[in-house]
Amino acid sequence: MDIKDVIVRKIDSKKLLSFLNIELEENQELEVSSFALYKDKIELTPDCCFGYLPKKHFKGKIQTVVDVACHIVKINKDKGIRSYPMNPSFYKAVAFDDLKLLSEKVKLIDFIRYNYNPRIIQNQNLLMKHINDLEI
């Protein structure tokens, strides 16, 4: 399979945040990084970093689950400062089937930073090796 033929499910961040419905303290906001899913097998970022999706016992059944990295952004309105943590504040498990409802199908090359720099090109090649291995 060629990279230009691969379709992924891009997760809509606004819909996901609404779905998560996590209450925070005053002067805090929740943010999630952009990601997409290849079938129910691989999670990937726009930089083409990726990992396999595990099956877990979740909500009473064994199913594919995505651990969504959530960042709590602290806001100082007086100074106009947004403090964004380098690492995720926590991970929230979400069933793959729920994420499918919050996604749209797009071409992989429209989601990733296609041929953006040599590091990402290496990631693209490795991702395609794994995708092609899944399709055998």
pLDDT in tens, 31-41: 998 999 999 99
Distances (CA, A) of 28 to 17, 35, 105, 125: 13, 22, 31, 39
Under DSSP, the state recorded for 44 is E
- What is the model's pLDDT at position 119? 76
Q: Is a pLDDT exceeding 90 seen at residue 135?
A: no
Asked whether residue 3 carries a pLDDT value surpassing 80, the answer given is: yes
Residue 69: give the domain boundaries.
3-135
Percent of the chain's residues with pLDDT above 90: 71
Q: How many domains does the chain have?
A: 1
